[in-house]
Amino acid sequence: MNTAGELALQVLHERAGAIGTPLERHSERVYELAVLLAPTADRELLRVAALMHDIGVLEPLGRTAYVTVGAERARGLLESCGWQAERIRSCADAVARHHELRRQIGRGVEVEAIRRADLIDLSSGLIRFGVLRADVQAVSARHPRRGFTVALARIVGRLVLHAPRSLPVVFRPPT
């Protein structure tokens, strides 16, 4: 029987159409950084949230923000795994709120850890929230950033061209 983390990785591979993509390596970096930020957090929840946090960018574009689409995909996956409602909500919140500008610790340590880990990785470690530079570099060595900037530019360009109304919603709290 596959764990939720294994199933999330399988979904990422299926949506990306490949294994080892820049987005997958980004997700792995986010997971490892989240563990460094919150070592006592629910690791399985962090793993699924990290793997699913950007899955919405691989879905067909629509009016719904990709973070909302990703949260719904995570919810569906975790319901099929039999997770309890509170864990599902926490994981979906981590996916939906990973671009929040304000702290999300009130929603759970995992939600805040994913938010911070994503920002650490997007900033290439310029923002670290107390994580040592050497630790950020070690994570990047295990999961190289190769191709990530180009992939990110393509994703943002696609959103700007084909779903510009969804962009502001990425930074607006879900209702």
In tens, the pLDDT along 77-122 reads 999 999 999 999 999 999 999 999 899 999 999 999 999 999 999 9
Structure tokens at 31: 């997971």
Is residue 124 left, alpha or beta, with left meaning phi > 0 and alpha meaning psi from -120 to 50? Answer: left
55 has a pLDDT exceeding 80: yes
Average of per-residue pLDDT values in the chain: 91
What pLDDT shows up at residue 156?
Answer: 77
pLDDT tens across 128-169, in order?
999 999 999 999 999 999 998 888 888 778 777 776 766 666
* Total Cβ atoms within 10 A of residue 143: 20
Note the pLDDT of residue 149. 87
Q: Is 108 within 8 Å of 36 (Cβ atoms)?
A: no
Q: Give the angle 57-61-65 at the CA atoms, nearest 5°.
A: 65
Q: pLDDT class for 63, splitting at 50, 70, 90?
A: confident
117-134 burial, b at 16+ Cβ within 10 Å, e below that, comes to bbbbbbeebeebeebeee
At 173 the pLDDT is: 54
Contact in structure between 53 and 70 (CB atoms under 8 Å) = yes
